[in-house]
Amino acid sequence: MSKAHRGKGIRELFARGRGICPVCGASGIKLLYEQDAGEQKVKVCKPCKAAIKHGKKSVLVKEAVAAAE
């Protein structure tokens, strides 16, 4: 079984794959999972990916919502 999101595979990413999640706003969290937000793809954290999959959160990004207003 692959362990692509553990550490060795993300060392070449900017800031080791960490940042601020655009969905929940958590900082210092790994952003390794791509989700479609309209016509763009955004990287989200693991809890947000699961919540989006189960329909508990929407993929609307805070920046996209702020830009639409």
DSSP string, 16-55: GGEE--TTT--SSEE--EEEEETTEEEEE-HHHHHHHHTT
What pLDDT shows up at residue 5? 65
Mean pLDDT over each residue of the chain, to the nearest integer: 80
Question: Taking phi first (over 0 means left), then psi (-120 to 50 degrees means alpha), and beta for anything else, what does residue 54 get?
Answer: alpha
pLDDT level of residue 29 (50, 70, 90 thresholds): very high
Q: Is residue 45 part of a domain?
A: yes
Higher pLDDT: 55 or 46? It is 46
pLDDT level of residue 63 (50, 70, 90 thresholds): low
Q: Is residue 1 part of a domain?
A: no
Q: Is residue 3 part of a domain?
A: no
Structural domain count, the chain: 1
**Segments forming the whole domain that contains residue 23:** 8-68
What pLDDT shows up at residue 4? 66
Q: Is residue 17 part of a domain?
A: yes
Asked if pLDDT for residue 1 goes beyond 80, the answer is no
Q: Is residue 53 part of a domain?
A: yes
Residue among 2, 44, 1, 4 at smallest CA distance from 24: 44
